[in-house]
């Protein structure tokens, strides 16, 4: 499930609270600032691309094609966040971060890219719009936090917009996967049938159905976790710093 993806949970899963944690060293901090600035700019490019394409066409249909390349590039660039956790410059779970990042990468490449018939679906624009707003806020949040100058407006947006963006993103993702099912079943995309020399079979169609089912237990848990995080963070009046 693209859960944090979906709407925003990579920021809400973490280690936000009254206790301050030791941040990364000066060199690591400089690198993380540059990384987050670049990612913020990248998602702003995607946002501007969507708006320009909409104004030029006068319709929201098929806007995916106008931002396909930057979307793939910057969403895939989030894989570096797993490395950041693995080497310890970001104090977050490697497993959780990996799950959240790779679920989005999976939807970007293994569903939307691989099943071209779904690229014109309105559901794709739904999750792309949710991701775009989420990531602009999230990477801005991280950048200002690393600089120890976090405007309250960005902090508030970080822990408020997910209330709408998370369900919006999840809805778009589920509808996109659902739209891909007939084409996957018809073409046998990524499926491995018996017999073969490895004596192994894999049905990608069934796998996608299982992915959709996984949203049922995961979505409520993550969503209400973020609600609790929102109360903790926005309800805390003291200083607060995050080094992701």
Please identify every residue annotated as catalytic: 166, 173
| Residue 192, helix vs strand vs coil | strand
| Residue 136, helix vs strand vs coil | helix
Lookup result for tokens 């902090």: 155
CA 15 to each of CA 30, 87, 226: distance values in angstroms, whole numbers, following the listed order: 21, 17, 12
**Helices 26-57 and 64-77 meet at what angle, rounded to 10?**
170
CA 125 to each of CA 61, 73, 237: distance values in angstroms, whole numbers, following the listed order: 8, 17, 37
Q: How far apart are CA 105 and CA 1, in angstroms?
A: 11
CA dihedral angle for residue 34, residue 40, residue 128, residue 211, rounded to 10 degrees: 40
Q: How far apart are CA 81 and CA 77, in angstroms?
A: 8
Nearest 5 degrees, angle CA 126-CA 127-CA 129?
Answer: 70
**Helices 64-77 and 122-146 meet at what angle, rounded to 10?**
40
As a whole number of angstroms, the longest Cα–Cα distance in the chain is: 63
Tokens standing for residue 189: 């995309």
């Amino acid at each position: 499930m693209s859960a944090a993806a979906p709407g925003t949970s990579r920021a809400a899963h973490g280690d936000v609270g009254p206790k301050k944690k030791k941040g990364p060293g000066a060199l690591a901090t400089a690198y993380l600032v540059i990384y987050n600035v670049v990612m913020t700019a990248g998602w702003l490019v995607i946002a501007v691309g969507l708006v320009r394409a909409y104004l030029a066409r006068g319709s929201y249909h098929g806007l995916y094609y106008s931002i396909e390349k930057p979307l793939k590039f910057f969403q895939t660039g989030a894989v570096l966040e797993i490395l950041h956790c693995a080497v310890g410059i970001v104090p977050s779970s490697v497993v959780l971060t990996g799950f959240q990042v790779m679920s989005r990468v999976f939807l970007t490449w293994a569903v939307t890219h691989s099943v071209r018939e779904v690229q014109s679906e309105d559901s794709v624009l739904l999750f792309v719009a949710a991701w775009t707003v989420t990531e602009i806020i999230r990477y801005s949040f991280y950048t200002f936090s690393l600089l120890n100058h976090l405007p309250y407006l960005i902090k508030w947006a970080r822990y408020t917009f997910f209330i709408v963006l998370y369900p919006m993103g999840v809805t778009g993702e589920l509808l996109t996967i659902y739209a891909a099912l007939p084409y996957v079943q018809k073409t046998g995309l990524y499926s491995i049938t018996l017999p073969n020399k490895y004596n192994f079979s894999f049905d990608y169609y069934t796998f996608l159905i299982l992915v959709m089912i996984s949203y049922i237990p995961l979505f409520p848990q993550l969503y209400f976790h973020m609600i609790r995080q929102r109360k903790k963070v926005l309800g805390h009046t003291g200083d607060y710093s995050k080094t992701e």
